[in-house]
Amino acid sequence: MSDNFPKISVIMPFYNAESYIGQAIESILNQSFSNFELILINDASNDNSEEIIARYLKDKRIIYIKNNFNKGIVYNLNAGLKLAKSEIIARMDGDDISNKERFAKQYDFLQNNSDISVVGSFVKIIDGLGRQIDKRTKLLDPEKIKNDLIVYSPLVHPSVMFRKSHVLAVGGYREKCIYVEDVDLWYRLAYSGYKISNIPEFLLKYRFHENSTSKKSRIIAKKAFLLRRETIKKFNLKIGFRKFSLIYLQFLIGIFLPAGFQRFLEGFYKKLAYHEK
């Protein structure tokens, strides 16, 4: 790798990830595609994450930043974008696991599809012990994604690779959209004319933490609902009765049902609506 020109910049912010951060880092360092920089942003963790990370810092591809106080995911993502040397950005979380071929396949996809701004992948959902408990396939066609985007999130955030200039052109991540910062970004990209797609392969193991997610589910539901209303108005979207009903139904499910059951209903709905397996 040239120190000045890595082909991919990987942004991995984390907070108190001692249980999984080693696996996450190793899954990146062991990629078959090796020309990248890994930007690790420690958001003032108070566990043993830093001691674990110290084992990997001899790898010259790693750039390690530690915040003096907790600044939150949106600040860290935008900070990572500013630090990134490459136009191509890969997202990663400190508790997930990337397939060894993930970067190679996503990078090639973007090189061969210059009209695509963001590419994600299918994901396997794992629990705290690494056991698969579910999986998610996603829509592939950019037009279908755009058509259903207001009711169906097309991407799993830590699975994506995107073009930095396109994300910056729509304003990057917005602090006011904390907890739904990724969906907000997809809205602004797609409805501004940028295209989103997915690779039909399972390139990420996404870790589901039911306890932590349950605590945030009501906040997320409310923020997602308000974001959808804002987006519909801003981009003058024409929403039919079906989509209008689904928006309210998702809000009610998020408010009243536990996170584990929400995940089940999401999977069930997508199997019916999109023939997901």
What CATH number should be reported for the domain holding residue 158? Answer: 3.90.550.10
Cα-based distances in Å from 181 to 23, 26, 71, 177: 25, 26, 15, 5
Give the bridge partners for 123, in sequence order.
Answer: 136, 204
Query: What is the total count of domains within the chain?
Result: 1
Region of 196 please: left (phi>0), alpha (psi -120 to 50) or beta: beta
Helices 210-234 and 181-190 pack at an angle, to 10 degrees, of: 30
Token match 């989509």: residue?
A: 243
Give the bridge partners for 207, in sequence order.
Answer: 126
Within a domain: residue 116? yes
Cβ distance 224 to 251 under 8 Å?
A: yes
Cβ distance 153 to 87 under 8 Å?
A: no
Helices 259-274 and 241-256 pack at an angle, to 10 degrees, of: 160
Please state whether the predicted TM-score (pTM) of the whole model is above 0.85: yes
Within a domain: residue 272? no
Output helix, strand, coil percentages for the chain, rounded to the nearest 5.
45, 20, 35
Within a domain: residue 215? no
Within a domain: residue 96? yes
- Compute the CA torsion angle 76, 82, 84, 90 (nearest 10 deg): 50
Within a domain: residue 256? no
Within a domain: residue 277? no
How far apart CA 138 and CA 273 sit, in angstroms, is: 12
Within a domain: residue 216? no
Q: Which tokens sit at 81?
A: 């974008």
Q: How many residues does the chain have?
A: 277
Within a domain: residue 14? yes
Q: 164 by DSSP, 3-state: which? A: helix
pLDDT in tens, the chain (277 residues): 545 789 999 999 999 999 999 999 999 999 999 999 999 999 999 999 999 999 999 999 999 999 999 999 999 999 999 999 999 999 999 999 999 999 999 999 999 999 999 999 999 999 989 999 989 999 999 999 999 999 988 999 999 999 999 999 999 999 999 999 999 999 999 999 999 999 999 999 999 876 555 457 788 889 999 999 999 999 999 988 888 888 888 878 777 666 554 555 565 555 555 545 5
Domain span at 116: 8-209
Q: Are strands 8-14 and 36-42 parallel, antiparallel or unpaired?
A: parallel
